[in-house]
């Protein structure tokens, strides 16, 4: 089980608290804490995905990286061709 830390100074807009309580009453979460923790996990995962997407976008514009990818593709071209021929011969 996760270590729990009680935070007393977190301010939540009243409409979010009302919606949270409604979701708990509807059985969508065990309690406020569970729902808030789930929401935080989702948001943090989304932020991480955005960070990864930004890094991938940088890679797409990185000339040195593109040269390296082309070099690796050239080095693996024969192995890919041989693998394709092997699969086709087994069919």
Share of the chain above pLDDT 90, in %: 54
- C-alpha neighbours within 13 Å on the C-beta side of residue 6: 1
Query: Domain coordinates of the chain in residue numbers?
Result: 12-60, 63-91
When pLDDT is averaged across residues 30-47 and rounded to a whole number, the result is: 96
Comparing 24-33, 52-61, 77-86, which segment has the lowest mean pLDDT? 77-86
Q: How far apart are the first and last CA of the chain?
A: 51
The whole-number pLDDT of residue 41 equals: 96
The whole-number pLDDT of residue 84 equals: 85
Q: What is the pTM of this model?
A: 0.62
Cβ-Cβ contacts under 8 Å for 80 (sequence gap 6 or more) = none
> Higher model confidence: residue 80 or residue 22?
22
């Amino acid at each position: 089980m996760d270590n729990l830390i009680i935070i007393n100074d977190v301010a939540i807009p009243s409409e979010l608290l009302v919606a949270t309580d409604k979701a708990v009453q509807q059985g969508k979460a065990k309690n406020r804490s569970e729902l808030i923790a789930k929401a935080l996990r989702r948001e943090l995962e989304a932020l991480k995905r955005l960070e990864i997407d930004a890094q991938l976008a940088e890679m797409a514009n990185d000339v040195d990286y593109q040269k390296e990818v082309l070099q690796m593709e050239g080095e693996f071209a024969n192995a890919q061709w041989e693998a394709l021929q092997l699969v086709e011969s087994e069919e």
